[in-house]
Amino acid sequence: MTAAAPDPYAAARDSAARLAAALDRASHDVAVVLGSGWAEAADGLGPPRAEVAVTEIRGFPAPTVLGHGASVRSAEVDGLGVLVFLGRVHAYEGHPLSTVVHGVRTAIAAGCRFVVLTNAAGAVNRDYRVGQAVLISDHLNLTGRSPLTGPPPGVGVRFVDLTDLYAVRLRSLLVAAVPGLAEGVYAGLPGPHFETPAEIRMMRTLGADLVGMSTVHEAIAAHHLGAEVVGISLVTNAAAGSGEGPLDHLDVVAAGQAAGKEMGRLLRTTIGCLAHA
């Protein structure tokens, strides 16, 4: 007889309890997941109340990708308790999707009503420039996978409506607060290789503005559990065939670090908008 798969929602509740004890705070309101090169932006949220290595919390492997930290901070921003994940793990690192989305599920089990997902992205839209922040309005999940695959979930519904996946009301608040902030469609691919020029042309035809290797599964998992999702991409490179020279992850990380202070201010503004949502 095949053994039953572990319950990912029970695992998230267990991790949330351990996280609360490690950070000495019973619950939080907002989760922020930082993408490649975004770690310096965390400083824009002010000094942390507490910080713990993810490896000290059962269920969290350490990220293996350059530009991703391996700790979680607790901060107080505009009256909200904020959990800041200084990095994430990806499916291309060899993890099942239940591990990839464990962070957001844990955050929601810890009380978070809002989930802010950030990433480094390539610009499919030729009007975007390196260093520009783009608010995600929708996504194309081109991974061929869903974090909801498996037995019927013990919480939520199996067939989740994704019409308002990236919450319209929160995007409206942020666009009003940040004049000139662009919105675009993010295409999520499996990675870890960069895309071919032909694939970028295909994505442009499909309506994508940005391309990356994360975010889509976390967004689906968070929305499934009732959290409101905000997605923010930092353009770190022109997509394949759109710029000059080869693509290199070191350049992606460098672009994120160069925009760290600006992205920190944007995160602070985002939390301020959530405080009044």
Question: Per the residue annotation, which of 71, 123, 237, 255 is the catalytic one?
Answer: 237
Which of 1-15, 83-97, 208-222 is least confident? 1-15
Give the model's confidence band at 273: pLDDT under 50 very low, under 70 low, under 90 confident, else very high.
very high
Question: Active-site residue among 208, 213, 221, 263?
Answer: 213
pLDDT (tens digit per residue) in 66-98: 778 889 999 999 999 999 999 999 999 999 999
Of 93, 177, 202, 277, which one is the catalytic site residue?
A: 93
Active site residue 249: yes
Q: Can you give the residue ranges of every domain in the chain?
A: 8-275
Report the Cα 271 to chain-centroid distance in Å.
Answer: 15
Concerning whether 27 is annotated as a catalytic residue, the answer is: no
Q: Determine the Cα–Cα distance for residues 201 and 50; give it in Å rounded to an integer.
A: 45
pLDDT attached to residue 1? 38
Residue 12 has pLDDT above 90, yes or no: yes
Say if residues 116 and 32 touch (Cβ distance below 8 Å): yes
pTM above 0.85, yes or no: yes
Q: In CATH, which superfamily holds the domain spanning 8-275?
A: Nucleoside phosphorylase domain (3.40.50.1580)
Give exposure, 16-28, as e/b (b: 16+ Cβ within 10 Å). Answer: bebbbebbebeeb
CB neighbour class for 157 (10 Å; exposed up to 12, middle 13-18, buried from 19): exposed
Which is nearest to 183 in space by CA: 141, 138, 122? Answer: 138
User: pLDDT (tens digit, 9 = 90+) per residue, 161-185?
Assistant: 999 999 999 999 999 999 999 999 9
Is 90 a residue of the active site? yes
DSSP per-residue string spanning 28-95: -SEEEE--TT-GGGGGGG-S-SEEEEGGGSTT-PPP-STT---EEEEEEETTEEEEEES----GGGT-
Active site residue 213: yes
Reported as a single tens digit per residue, the pLDDT across 99-155 is 999 999 999 999 999 999 999 999 999 999 999 999 999 999 999 999 999 888 888
**217 a catalytic residue:** no
